[in-house]
Amino acid sequence: MNSLLWILIGGTLGLAYGTATASGSGLDIVANIVAGVVGAVLAGRLLAAPFGPTVLDARGVSFPSLLIAPLGALVLLVLEHLVRLSRVA
């Protein structure tokens, strides 16, 4: 269940970031969605485990991973944006 939530969180943040930065092409928005999903999954996998298994319900949704996944998505989205800016300049 956590993995599905991480994908949804990352995809939503990637879509919002892609439309907010007004990059122009549809391929850039897709790249932002992918970067958001990858960032959320990596952060959820790697960083949520040390904070302990705080579970919201019996299906295994952990509260720390729901807080850390969006941060990971945003960090990766900002890094991707900075790489694109450095290629343009």
- Look up the pTM and report it: 0.79
Q: Model confidence over 21-68: pLDDT tens digits?
A: 766 566 788 888 899 999 988 888 887 666 555 544 446 667 777 888
Structural domain boundaries enclosing 15:
2-88
What region, left, alpha or beta, does residue 60 occupy, with left being phi > 0 and alpha being psi -120 to 50 degrees?
left
List, as own/partner pairs, every contact residues 22-31 make where C-beta atoms lie below 8 angstroms and the sequence separation is at least 24, other chains included.
23/84, 28/84, 31/80
Count how many domains the chain has: 1
Amino acid 22: pLDDT: 66
Tokens of 69: 């996944």
